[in-house]
């Protein structure tokens, strides 16, 4: 498992845009004398939690640093992750391992063409004893939900996830049923197989905080996978006996609240704003990023800063999350697709043209 790169200062920036204001809740309501010490302690605890979680996950899940990082950042920012990768790369194992390490319930839904919304949300059933209807919760009532091959179901089933991902509740017959917290949806889709699939609508894509690309593992990582399986190891047994739990739902919720107080300077808010707005006028993009993309960048950068042991965000935190936060929110023009351009490369080019603020 490689270490994540440290941050560095960029060149001097232009003055911030006047319209971008610092949100009123950027700093926690603490006494001035105690705020620095308490903030330092909170970020130190968050960094230690992140490092311990990554260490335990690596005992059974090999490589895929971007997937681990984006999933952890999304979880501790209250977001969700769309995972794109071919079958057989261990996505189910990762979500199961993540749930075990962080002490949360794990659930899995295999999306198919005949899957109905009630199959995932649940539905009222008749109780023969009381002759009354009672709600039977569906598989979404968990904490870590793997929506496997989500693009194999039609739009009405996709739409059933919208309210849950945004509002953390299911409404049946006018009655709302709250899902457990924390609640993280990790949906997968196959990038190469199109037969029998339905493209996710832009509204659904925008609900995902990040899109992680899972590539084939490096040669050394794949050799380790083969070595583990050559010993006829039962991964479920190893998960229970050797991989330790380092957190629980209560600690995760507490850390999420703490991360909300991580400081984001007005210059950085301006920087995020410039990045998002630049996607709307970039020649290679037909569709630019929405304001929700900027919110995702800001919230994700806060969590990433805490994972690095800081109670303030630096430009490198933003830059590192630009690709996973924006790649599913922009669309290439037809001409760009014909020329073989890629969204990631265009986003990198866009970033190079925006001046990095010096804090």
Do 267 and 253 reside in the same domain of the chain? no
pLDDT band of 15, cuts 50, 70, 90: very low
Q: Are 71 and 212 in contact (CB under 8 A)?
A: yes
DSSP 93-128: HHHHHHHHHTT--EEEEE--TT--HHHHHEEEEEET
CATH code of the domain containing 77: 3.40.50.300
Same-domain check for residues 250 and 268 = no
Q: Say how far residue 276 (Cα) sits from the centre of its chain.
A: 18
3 occurs within a structural domain: no
Q: Is the domain of 76 the same as that of 187? A: yes
Which of 199, 224, 258 is the C-terminal boundary of a domain? Answer: 258
The boundaries of the domain holding residue 200 are 48-258
Answer whether 208's CB lies under 8 Å from 300's CB: no
Distance between CA 260 and CA 171 in Å, rounded? Answer: 28
Pull the structure tokens for residue 215: 């590539």
Domain stops at, among 228, 258, 288: 258
How many domains, in total, are found in the chain? 2
Same domain, 146 and 122: yes
Q: Are 129 and 204 in contact (CB under 8 A)?
A: no
Q: Do 117 and 203 belong together in one domain?
A: yes
Alpha carbon distance 65, 54 (integer Å): 9
Final residue belonging to a domain, choices 207, 232, 258: 258
CATH number for the domain harbouring residue 357: 1.10.8.80
Q: Looking at the domain assignment, is residue 40 inside a domain? A: no
Cα–Cα distance for residue pair 101/223, rounded to 1 Å: 24
Same structural domain, 191 and 279: no
Which residue has tokens 């605890």? 45
Same domain, 254 and 173: yes
Under DSSP, the state recorded for 150 is G
Give the model's confidence band at 194: pLDDT under 50 very low, under 70 low, under 90 confident, else very high.
low
Confidence of residue 23 (pLDDT cuts 50, 70, 90): very low
Global pTM exceeds 0.75: yes
**What value does the mean pLDDT take over residues 186-212?**
80
Whether 107 is covered by a domain: the verdict is yes
Q: For the chain, first and last CA: distance in Å? A: 31
pLDDT tens digit sequence for 75-96: 999 999 999 988 888 888 898 8
In a shared domain, residues 252 and 292: no
- The reply to whether 229 falls in a domain is yes
Q: Taking a C-beta distance cutoff of 8 angstroms, is the pair 145, 183 a contact?
A: yes
Q: Are residues 239 and 303 located together in one domain of the fold?
A: no
| CA–CA dist 223, 151 (Å, integer) | 31
SS3 110: strand
Note whether residue 109 is domain-resident: yes
Average pLDDT value for residue range 331-350: 94
Q: Do 165 and 265 belong together in one domain? A: no
């Amino acid at each position: 498992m490689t270490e994540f790169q440290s941050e560095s200062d960029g060149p001097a920036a232009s003055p911030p845009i006047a319209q971008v204001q610092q949100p009123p809740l950027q700093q926690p309501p603490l006494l001035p004398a105690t705020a620095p010490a308490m903030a330092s302690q909170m970020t130190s605890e968050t960094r230690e939690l992140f490092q311990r979680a990554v260490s335990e996950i690596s005992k059974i899940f090999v490589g895929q640093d971007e997937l681990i990082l984006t999933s952890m950042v999304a979880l501790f920012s209250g977001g969700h992750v769309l995972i794109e990768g071919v079958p057989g790369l261990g996505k189910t194992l990762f979500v199961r391992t993540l749930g075990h390490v962080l002490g949360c319930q794990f659930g899995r839904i295999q999306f198919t063409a005949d899957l109905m919304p009630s199959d995932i949300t649940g539905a009222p059933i008749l109780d023969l004893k009381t002759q009354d209807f009672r709600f039977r919760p569906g598989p979404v009532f968990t904490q870590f939900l793997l929506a496997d091959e989500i693009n194999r179901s039609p739009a009405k089933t996709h739409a059933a996830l919208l309210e849950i991902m945004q509002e953390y509740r299911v409404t049946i017959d006018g009655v709302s049923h709250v899902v457990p917290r924390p609640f993280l949806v990790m949906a997968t889709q196959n990038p190469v197989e199109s037969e029998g699939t339905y493209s996710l609508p832009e509204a659904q894509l925008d609900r995902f905080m990040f899109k992680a690309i899972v590539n084939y593992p490096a040669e050394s990582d794949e050799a380790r996978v083969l070595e583990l399986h050559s010993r006829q190891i039962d991964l479920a047994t190893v998960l229970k006996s050797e991989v330790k739990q380092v957190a629980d739902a209560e600690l995760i919720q507490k850390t999420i609240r703490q991360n909300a107080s991580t400081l984001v300077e007005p210059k950085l808010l301006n920087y995020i704003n410039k990045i998002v707005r630049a996607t709307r006028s970039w020649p290679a993009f037909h569709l630019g990023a929405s304001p929700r993309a900027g919110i995702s960048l800001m919230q994700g950068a806060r969590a990433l800063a805490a994972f690095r042991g800081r109670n303030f965000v630096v430009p490198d935190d933003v830059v590192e999350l630009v690709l996973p936060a924006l790649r599913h929110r922009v669309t290439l023009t037809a001409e760009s697709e014909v020329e073989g351009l890629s969204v990631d490369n265009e986003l990198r080019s866009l970033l190079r043209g925006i001046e990095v603020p010096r804090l």
